[in-house]
Structure 1
Amino acid sequence: MRRSFTLAFVVAATFGSVAFLPVNPLRPSLEKVFERINQEVMQHGQAYETLADASTRIGHRLTGSPNGAKAEEYAFNLLRSYGFKDVRYDSFEVESWMRDTCTLSIVPNKSDNYRDVRVVSLAHSPVDAHVRGEIIDVGNGLEGDFAALKDQIKGKIALVNIGLSNPTKGARNLHRSEKTALAIQHGAKGVIMVNLVPGNVLLTGTASVTGKLIPVPAVCISYESGQALRKWMTEEQNDHLNAQIDMTNASRKIKARNVVATLPGSKYPNEKIVIGGHLDSWDLATGAIDNGIGSFSVMDIARTFKALKLKPARTIEFVLFMGEEQGLLGSRAMVEAYKKANKLDQVRYVLNLDMTNNPVGFNAFGREEIIPLLKTVGEAIQKTDTGFANTLTNQAGLHSDHQPFMIEGVPIIGMNGNLAREVLDCYHANCDRINLVDKAQLTNTVRYSAMLLYALADASDIPTRRFDDTRTRDYLIAQGLRTPLQIANEWRWKE
């Protein structure tokens, strides 16, 4: 995941009340279906077991690696075993990046008093980089931080926090790739990211907003190393510190594959609901949380629909995306394929499970008109399980596989979940393993998401359509997403 904790699904409409397909002997009531889903998942759910099995058999699931290919095959075969005849690989070409060697040394100016610092390279740093330069501390690395130092950054190595130290109310963090992009725009020759999680945790991830190689090396150091480095910078204030970054990486074109299982709609087969989660992970651990809990939930939701022989009105595509960690590559490829076939309008909803865990409600993703529908669906879920809180939020976000759909006007709805602090501290780190996964909470993700999926797929009417280009622009501006999209060079509108 490219750290975004609002997870996605679509809709938009003017709902005063929710209209579902009429009840008849062949179509049980919504609450009855929810009860069947609940019973099936509670008694026969396999998300935890299959995730644990894949973690043991495969390990990490880095796109472009042999492990990544094994993960694609594992998902394909698992979906076939659940009874899906229409399971396919959607291949796409991707620039595959893999780390090799990386060292970081710190030395005062005109000195040979080198100190080596534990470090990990960030994707998509150059395949070969050897740079030395003065360190300049840009703090949290927000636009204002760079602007304040705009005449001092060129030719130096930017020291930047991955998160926000002492965050102030209303402050919105930028993704590490956006901070790297700002550093490059200001002429930095390298970037050192400081993880703010105590415990000598090194974090990986992409520092590229495009999924392509960046022109300067970007690395991550631990919180403790960052503290020590900043202390040393203060001590050496009259004799500035230099950083020397040496790294080699591998980058080559490969073919990766999204895995897609299709459940045809019984009444509106050309209207599609996409439910997906990224199957790939970084290579420091097995990616149990990011994004094992999401992708294996998607597969168990698919299993549940097949086990119950559910046949909702609209077609559902269960998608396991690859390449999310390296720049939303699989979801971008899927959107481009839909556009090329002139079928993007057929996608009525997108539900993206990325680090979704133990949902307590829904996110309308900036679409006010969907809130009555979500509230009604939540109330129906509460009749099955009074523990479901049915909390509602209404804020769009970026950096996961819903994004390529959203910036093309497709509406998004999210599941609001939560993860314990100690679990989040292992984000993109070498501690993201199966021991972090809470089986009961994973089961909640499967059953609540399956209920929402069925309700939306089987609604008798969806007055919402994909936004046109002008309304999409206005929507993104209203959601405060113009600036990060501009930094990422994804803002296609001329002001």
Structure 2
Amino acid sequence: MRPLSALALGLGALSLLAQAPAEPRKAEKPRFEFGIPDKPFTSEVARLIREIGERPQVVTNLEALSDDIGPRLTGSERLLKAEAWAMDKFKAYGALNVHTEAYDFGPSWTRGHDWGRLVNLNGMDLHLAAMAWSPATKGPVKGELVVLQAQTVEELKALLPTLEGKIVLMGALPKPDPKVDRRTYYSELMGLMKDLKAAVLLRGSGRPDDLLNMTGSPVPRWGRATTPTAFLSGEQADMLTRLVKRGQHPVVEIQIAGEMGKEPVQAHNVVAEIKGSEWPDQVVIVGGHLDSWDLGTGATDNGTGAMAAMEVLRAIQALGLKPRRTLRVVLFSGEEEGLLGSNAYAKAHAAEAANLQAVLIDDMGTGRILGWPDMGQEIWRAPLAQAMAPANNLGCREIGAFTQPGDTDHWPFFQLGVPAFAAIQDPVDYMKITHHSQADTFTHVIPADLIQGAQAMAATAWEFLNMPERVPHIAPAEKKD
């Protein structure tokens, strides 16, 4: 038995050793000295970036604009309230020359109670909303629904007279001819659709998850509806199309409300400045549009951009910085109805275009600013790279080799030959979810991305404000009526 006892003794000793606390290891001295952490940069642009990052007001301002004031349709009392609120903010931040500039807008429009139902078959209520500035129906309209589908322009022309007095769901229309400019093609298509004499026109939203869409204008050339028109949820548009395709003859009842103003109204752009210390007549404009559609609260289209522009001015004033050129913040209205505010501003200030150093617009939702497009102008790439450099570490480093089309407020300035840029942004859920839908609310705002966007805009604007060189202009575009 001794060998067994010796084995047991040995195992016990091992157990005791395992339970004994290990001696602490001594820290090894690094073989190389890598230096000490950087002290905070003290340049003016670095301080500007840090001010917005550490003491931002852009998020709380956007929350107030979205939740307290809410939808801001151009021509409405709520947009007037938002303009007064913005002016008070600018004045509190110490801005100079705070004012509004009026322009002729057209009649206002107020949404009414729109509704619809499928009378036969499954009897569902229809989820729809009137297209803005659409004429209203005279009470409920009832009838069999037909789907308008055409593969060619000639086929569309032949079909339109057969739809008079009917309830029409717009289906697939002719695709653009690759040999024809897309804008020209769609303009001609819209012109044809004005000949439609239907009782009601329904348009699928093209959005998922029962989301609606919105467009419209008081100006005929920007798509003013001549037929009572409403947007229908994408899922229900698909259902009705399937029913018609299977020969089920859906009968619907629709009422489109809404009230057009009896007299034309004026709309306004809000303007605020910090005067330049050396070249006050030279100007850098930063901006976004304060107006929105009325299904949501306009948080991402374009509360984010408008509040980022406001934050640029706030941060410069908070630090007491003195830009060499004048900073001008412009919060446009009428953007959603056809760039009406920025067109009016550019026209009114056309004589000053030569003194515009650059125009920076933020209008693509809550996503981070990734850079700016060169607008197809090689001569603008180097100034853009120089202006963006301080924001490179923020992720703003892309210079897009393309012309951002005329879908936002940089465009009227670009047509004057001014270096005008609309930010390239992380799309997040903007085009798929929030753009022109009832989901455009503060819930979809990403605060960190909004702050980064304000920092990137501020840094880029600061460099344009202070670089010794003038950015070259190009020849103005030929105006087309």
Interval of TM-score (by shorter of Structure 1 and Structure 2): 0.7 to 0.9
Q: Please, which of 322, 330, 334 is the counterpart of residue 319 of structure 1?
A: 330
Letter in 1 for 2:203: M
Query: 2 CA distance for matches of 1:43 and 1:226?
Result: 47
| Identical-residue share of aligned pairs (%) | 26
1:93·1:256 contact (CA, 8 Å) conserved in 2?
yes
Give the alignment's TM-score, normalised by structure 2.
0.78
Alpha-carbon distance, 1:147 to partner:
4.8
Give deviations 1:351-385, integer Å, cap 9, x for gaps. Answer: 12113530112211222221122233333433xx2
Task: Name 1:150's counterpart in structure 2.
Answer: 157
Aligned partner of 1:354 among 347, 360, 363: 363
Segments of 4+ moved more than 4 angstroms: 104-107, 111-116, 127-134, 144-148, 161-165, 167-175, 177-180, 241-245
Q: How does 1:414-429 map to 2 (within 5 A)?
A: 414-421=422-429, 424-429=432-437
Hey, what's the Cα distance between the residues in 1 that align with 2:110 and 2:460? 38
Contact preservation (8 Å) 2:276, 2:326 = yes
Question: Which structure 2 residues correspond to residues 32-47 of structure 1 after superposition, within 5 A?
Answer: 32-47=43-58
Residue 279 (str. 1) matches residue 290 (str. 2): yes
The answer for the alignment partner of 1:335 in structure 2 is 346
* 1:202 alignment counterpart: 212
Closer/same/farther in 2, CA of residues 97 and 161 from structure 1, 3 Å limit: farther
Which position in structure 1 is the counterpart of 2:374? 364
The equivalent residue for 2:440 is 432
Residue equivalent to 1:491: 480
Is the Cα contact below 8 Å between 1:184 and 1:216 reproduced in 2? no
Q: Which residue is equivalent to 1:11?
A: none
Query: 1:27 maps to what in 2?
Result: none
Match of 2:237 in 1: 226
The structural deviation recorded for 1:173 is 8.1
Alpha carbons of 1:396 and 1:164: their partners in 2 closer, same or farther (altered >3 Å)?
A: farther
Equivalent residue letter for 1:202: L
1:99 equivalenced with 2:106 (yes/no): no
Q: Distance in 1 between matches of 2:234 and 2:309?
A: 34
Relative to structure 1, the CA distance from residue 437 to residue 116 in structure 2 (aligned partners, 3 Å threshold; closer, same or farther) is closer
CA contact (8 A) 2:130 2:230 kept: yes
Counterpart AA for 1:447: Q
Q: Does 1:51 align with 2:40?
A: no
Q: Distance in 2 between matches of 1:78 and 1:278?
A: 16
Match of 1:402 in 2: 410
CA deviations 1:414-443 (Å, max 9, x no partner) are 321113237741222222111111110001
C-alpha separation between the residues in 1 aligned to 2:308 and 2:152? 40
Cα deviations across residues 148-186 of structure 1 (Å, max 9, x unaligned)?
533212352664469999x999999879x9597245245
How far the C-alpha of 1:233 sits from its partner, in A, is 1.4
Structure 2: which amino acid aligns with 1:392?
G
Q: Check whether the contact 2:109–2:132 (CA below 8 A) recurs between aligned residues.
A: yes
* Mapped contact 2:67–2:442 kept (Cα < 8 A): no
Tell me how far apart the structure 2 counterparts of residues 289 and 145 of structure 1 sit (CA, whole Å).
37
* Distance apart, 1:234 and its partner CA: 0.4
SS at match of 1:154: helix
Q: Tell me: CA distance 1:260–1:302, structure 2 relative to 1, closer, same or farther (3 Å).
A: same
Higher RCO by CA contacts (8 Å cutoff, separation 6 or greater): 1
**Kept after mapping to 1: 8 A contact 2:360/2:421:** yes
Amino acid at match of 2:193: I
| Letter matched to residue 100 of structure 1 | G
1:268 is matched by which residue type in structure 2? Answer: W
Q: Any stretches of 5+ residues in structure 2 without a counterpart?
A: 1-40
Q: Superposition RMSD on alpha carbons, in Å?
A: 3.6
Decide which structure has the larger Cα Rg and report it.
2
Report deviation, 1:283: 1.6
How many residues get paired? 430
TM-fit CA distance, 1:223:
1.2
- Is the Cα–Cα contact under 8 Å of residues 291 and 336 in structure 2 kept in the other structure? yes
Which residue of the partner structure matches residue 7 of structure 1?
none
CA change 1:235–1:449 in 2 (3 A) is same
1:427 alignment partner AA = H
Q: 1:203 aligns to what SS in structure 2? A: coil
Summarize the Cα distance change of 1:197–1:59 in structure 2 as closer, same or farther, 3 Å threshold.
same
* Distance in 2 (alpha carbons) for counterparts of 1:401 and 1:195: 24
Which of 295, 303, 312 aligns to 1:292? It is: 303
Cα distance between partner residues in 2 of 1:174 and 1:212: 13
Alpha-carbon deviations, 1:115-159, whole Å to 9, x = none?
Answer: 6522101112125567778634347xxxx7545533212352664
> 1:310-346: CA deviations, max 9, x gaps?
333322210111222233222222123224xx33333
Deviates more, 1:388-397 or 1:112-121: 112-121
**Residue 452 (str. 1) matches residue 460 (str. 2):** yes
Q: In 1, are the aligned partners of 2:408 and 2:422 still within 8 Å (CA)?
A: no
Cα distance in 2 between the residues matched to 1:267 and 1:154:
65
